[in-house]
Chain A
């Protein structure tokens, strides 16, 4: 609270001195600096040429892509398919509304002093999925029905990732608590669940969800392929999540459990108010790691015939009308994934800083 008696000395070096200490401090650092500099100079130029300067942005069709650079015209003309899949053009406003709500709920989370951002965040994990559940498939409230076989592209990727992330966290928490439970039956069930799901590749899970599950279900009972994939992804992911969270639970000193117990807090309050807030905070990096890897793993749904953004791009690349546009397509997909995954990562760093209360026990 009080002002320091003396300000610490400034450590502003000036550009020449900074370069000398950081780039040319000795002969091998100088050599390294020069080598890296050479690589940058020789590669950035051609890259910029290909990406922007020589690239084609305008035109009417494949014939306009004649320059040496990238053919962004291809991405531009197929953007609708990349984002909405086969979702009917005249109904795409429904998806747009969801994109807008997603932005309204989550973009303010990056802005420290945005008014009501907590409530927007809560809306993002409660109201948003409910609205989406009505709006995207339609079939109620006079909305025309759009079957999930028509969904695709970025929209499908986001649906898979969003629901997978949202559902796997609470299930993971319960599994982690169960695995540390004193009750042998609950502990046993959780151990079996985690060890079985975690030991199976996601591709296998998706195959089984799409091919085998219908064989075991009674006649007349069937889920849509998308729902089956979602259940598979969520359960698979929650097994991973459980182990990440269990790591956090183990890091909480026994004294915290004892103090909460001694204050008369029962099991659920002890966990919910004292242990989990600390444990989850500790494992934010691990949780985010799992989220990001789930986000990228959604591309595997291609093998059961769902066209996520990668699938949509890949199927278009094969179009004989466009020649040699594979690189443009993959760069576009990579960029889309990077934007979302980097966003998740940045948000988690914000959160870690905000929740830091000088953790000492």
Chain B
């Protein structure tokens, strides 16, 4: 892949603080999962969140499109605050795409129908137009030839690329990735990461929860390390991997980089 420099083409419309998280807490019952999270993400930034399992990183990004609700503090996405108001939730979800660990494609619809469903029903795009756009995105993730197959007929890596295309069809301003390669066989991880790297180079605002440290090094603007429901450390990748400050970060990096 080509070395990525600052994406000057989208610099003009870069908006500071497209996601603002202020003093956010979340509990599951009595269990305090997320503790006083504060984070501001600018448009065009690529953030990688890592941390041991159970650290709350997935829960955190699922709060950003309100798949999980927070009980205290504020989350403001593209100037809309996430509250109980369903209209706010729906308007945020229209602008925020999400890719899941287990793909979650709709098995009763073809690949193309998966991609067109939301543009047609939510964005009210005419079917023909939606299909043309979907084909473009399927080409971008390099599987236009699978458009008329059902998800059950595809490999895991192909399904995850369809899931990325499906999210992109809504033309989101922000993409969330929740461990997108964790459920994949090793030989399929690269094809998905390549698509994600390409997407990052196009200037998309991305938040990725991942264990792929190579991806973090090449793509991220900032790496965030979470443990025990807190943000422990936040730094550019060179600093994060080269010179981690916190002992918990050092320990985590040692464990995952050992082998």
Contact = CB atoms under 8 A, between A and B. Distances in A.
Contacts of B118: 263-265
Q: What interface size band does chain A fall in?
A: 20 to 34
B187 to A, nearest CB: 20
Contacts of A274: 106, 117
A271 to B, nearest CB: 12
A361 B150 CA distance: 11
A255 B67 CA distance: 10
Interface stretch (A170-178, A191-199, A287-295, A351-359): A351-359
Interface in A240-259: 253, 255-256, 258-259
Interface in B159-184: 163, 166-167, 170
B122 A259 contact: no
B117 A263 contact: yes
A255 B93 contact: no
Contact of B100 (A258, A269, A357): A258
A266 interface: yes
B107 A262 contact: no
A99 B86 CA distance: 49
A278 interface: yes
Contact of B122 (A256, A265, A277, A359): A265
What size tier do the contact residues of chain B reach? Answer: 20 to 34
Interface string B81-92: 000001000100
Contact of A259 (B90, B94, B100): B100
Contact of A360 (B96, B152, B163): B152
Given A358-B150, A358-B152, A265 B121 contact: yes
Contacts of B65: 262
Name the residue among B121, B122, B153, B167 with the largest chain A CB count within 10 angstroms. Answer: B121
B185 to A, nearest CB: 15
Contacts of B150: 357-358
A273 B118 CA distance: 10
B105 interface: yes
Interface in B59-86: 65, 67, 86
Given A261-B93, A269-B121, A256 B106 contact: yes
B7 interface: no
Contacts of B96: 262
Nearest to A254: B104
Interface in A134-151: none
A187 interface: no
B108 A258 contact: no
A281 interface: yes
B107 A278 contact: yes
Nearest to B62: A258
A255 B100 CA distance: 8
B121 A277 contact: no
A347 B21 CA distance: 54
B102 interface: yes
B104 A361 contact: yes
B56 interface: no
Contacts of A265: 117-118, 121-122
Contact of A281 (B93, B97, B108): B108
B87 to A, nearest CB: 10
Given A357-B150, A358-B152, A359-B152, A262 B105 contact: no
Point out which of A259, A261, A358 has the most chain B C-beta atoms below 10 A from its C-beta. A259
Contacts of B102: 255, 361
A152 B151 CA distance: 50
Nearest to A275: B106
Given A259-B100, A357-B150, A264 B170 contact: yes
Contacts of A261: 67, 93
A361 B166 contact: no
Given A258-B67, A269-B121, A355 B94 contact: no
Contact of B104 (A256, A278, A281, A359): A256
A262 B152 contact: no
Contact of A264 (B93, B104, B105): B93
B207 interface: no
Contacts of B105: 259
A359 B151 CA distance: 9
A128 to B, nearest CB: 27
Interface of B: 65, 67, 86, 90, 93-94, 96-98, 100, 102, 104-108, 117-118, 121-122, 150-153, 163, 166-167, 170
Shortest beta-carbon contacts, A-B, top 5: A358-B152, A259-B104, A263-B118, A255-B104, A262-B98
Given A256-B106, A259-B100, A278-B106, 18 more contacts: A255-B100, A255-B102, A256-B104, A258-B67, A259-B98, A259-B106, A262-B97, A262-B167, A263-B170, A264-B93, A266-B90, A277-B108, A281-B108, A355-B108, A357-B108, A357-B152, A361-B102, A361-B107
